[in-house]
Amino acid sequence: KNEVEQSPQNLTAQEGEFITINCSYSVGISALHWLQQHPGGGIVSLFMLSSGKKKHGRLIATINIQEKHSSLHITASHPRDSAVYICAALSYSGGGADGLTFGKGTHLIIQP
Amino acid sequence: DAGVIQSPRHEVTEMGQEVTLRCKPISGHNSLFWYRQTMMRGLELLIYFNNNVPIDDSGMPEDRFSAKMPNASFSTLKIQPSEPRDSAVYFCASSLAPHQIANEQFFGPGTRLTVL
C-alpha cells in the first residue's frame, strides 16, 4: 500500500507570503490529486497531474515522478486561502485501480 | 448544475440502527465515489462505481457497509448495524471517466454521521 506523507502538518503565514506544501509517496503512481477542504468542510479538486507542472491562478502544482514527490505552491497568499490541503496518490495495476491513498492534510492559516 | 447532492447533511442515530446515506451525482457523470473522513484516518475511499457497476470496494471496512447504484442518478451507502466508530463525515463524489479514477472529481457537501 502506498504511504503518502504531507509536510508541514500545520502552517501559519502572513498575507502575501509564498506558500509551499509538500507531498511524498512511497510507491510509483499514475497520477496525483490535490484537494482543498474549506473550513466549512467542503472539498474542491484543485489539480490532477501525472507529470510536470500545472498552474491555475495563484496556485501551482508540480510533480517529480522519479523522486516520488509533489509540491503545491500558493503565490501572494490571501486569508481566503486558509484551508486544509490534501494530496492523494493514485496507483494502477493492469488498467484497474489499486487504490487511492490520501495524505493527512496540511492545515494552512493565512493571517491578514 | 446543482453539483453533487447528498442527503441527509447530518444524521444522528443510536448504535445498532440502520443508516442510509444518499447521493445524486452530477448529471452526465459516469463514475461515483464514496469516501469517509475521520480525524484519525483522514480521507479514505470506500467504494467506487463506473456506469453503475461497483469497480473497487476494497475500502469498505466491514460487511456492515454496503453500497448500491441502481441507476445513473442515485447511489446509497448503507450501514447496518451502525456502531459509534462509524461516526465520520461521508463524502460522495462524481466524475466523468471511462473506467478509472484519474479524472477530476466533484465532491458533495458530505453527510456528518454521529452514532451514539
pLDDT in tens, A45-91: 999 888 899 999 999 999 998 999 999 999 999 999 999 999 998 87
Residue B89 at interface with chain A, using a CB cutoff of 8 Å: yes
Q: Hey, what long-range contacts does A1-4 have (CB within 8 A, 24 or more apart)?
A: A1/A27, A1/A99, A1/A101, A2/A26, A2/A27, A2/A29, A2/A89, A2/A91, A2/A99, A2/A101, A3/A27, A3/A101, A4/A87, A4/A88, A4/A89, A4/A101, A4/A102, A4/A103
- Dmax (CA) of chain A: 49
8 Å CB contact of A42 and B110: yes
Residue B102's closest chain A neighbor by CA?
A: A31
pLDDT of residue A93: 54
pLDDT in tens, A11-46: 999 999 999 999 999 888 878 999 999 988 899 999
Residue B42 at interface with chain A, using a CB cutoff of 8 Å: yes
pLDDT of residue B102: 58
Per-block mean pLDDT, blocks of 10 residues, chain B (116 long): 92 97 95 92 90 87 93 97 96 78 82 97
Nearest to B43 among A86, A95, A97 (CB): A86
